[in-house]
Structure formats: structure tokens, C-alpha cells
Amino acid sequence: MRKVHVQPPSFPAVATDQLLQVKPGLRWQVMCGDAGHWRVGVYSPPETGADQCGELERHDCPEYFHLLSGRLTLVLHEAAGVRELALEPGHPVLVTVPHSGFCPDGPHSGAALVVERDSLSTEYRTPKEWREAT
């Protein structure tokens, strides 16, 4: 298990009222935010199946996912076991359980907008470690 603590400001400075640039081929790109409140980014994992998700993360706050393009499936570790949740256009999800994700159509072929707090702690564990912790 490992822990990561993020403190504000946890996002890059950007010019306001102008288009932001999303870099292709990145798992996680923090785009911008409001210091002490929220940050927003684009999530696009290279994994193509749940079996490749060797580490799941859980924040100490909810995390909002909204599909932007392609196909992206979240892997959620819940009390009843692991569940795959395919994101759907126009149907965001608020995630509180340990999670990861994959793009079934190829690495970085799907992307989701993610909104989370500007200050947060994240715990990372393998699926086995999450099972043993529950």
C-alpha cells in the first residue's frame, strides 16, 4: 500500500477565457482548478482490460467521472466484489470506492472528465490488498 497527499494548489496555472490543451496519451492530466476547492482533469488509461488494473485507488473524498470520448470502463472494488462499470455519454458517476479504469478499444482510446478536491489523500493498493482490507 502507498499513500499520496495532494495539497493546494494542485493544478497548473492557465490563461483564463482561452481553450485548454489536452495532451494525448496521458493517463491523468490535471487541467485547472480553484485553489482550496476543486481541480479538474482528463483521465485516459492505457490499460485495455480489468485484468491489467494492478492497482486501485481510493480518495478521501468523492470523485466525479464524465465520459468525454470513446469507451472507458471503471473497475470498482465494492463490498460484494469487483464490478465493471462502463461509462455512458451523458451519465456521469460519483465514485467513492477503490477504483481504476481501462479503455477496451485500445490504450488511451477513451477519456473522462474528472473533478475532485484540490486537497486530498489517495490510498493505492492491489485488488488483493483491497479484498484483504475489507
Please check whether residue 118 is in contact with residue 33, taking contact to mean a CB–CB distance below 8 angstroms.
yes
DSSP 47: -
Please check whether residue 98 is in contact with residue 33, taking contact to mean a CB–CB distance below 8 angstroms.
no
Please check whether residue 58 is in contact with residue 38, taking contact to mean a CB–CB distance below 8 angstroms.
no
Residue by residue, DSSP assigns 95-133 as E-S-EEEE-TTSTT--EEEEEEESSEEEEEE-HHHHHHH
2-41 per-position pLDDT tens digit = 999 999 999 999 999 999 999 999 999 999 999 999 999 9
Model confidence, pTM:
0.95
Banded model confidence at residue 133, pLDDT cuts 50, 70, 90 = confident
Cα separation values, 3 from 12, 63, 120, 123, Å: 22, 17, 11, 5
CA atoms of 50 and 100, how far apart (whole Å): 8
* Domains present along the chain, CATH in parentheses: 2-11+25-133 (2.60.120.10)
44-83 per-position pLDDT tens digit = 999 999 999 999 999 999 999 999 999 999 999 998 889 9
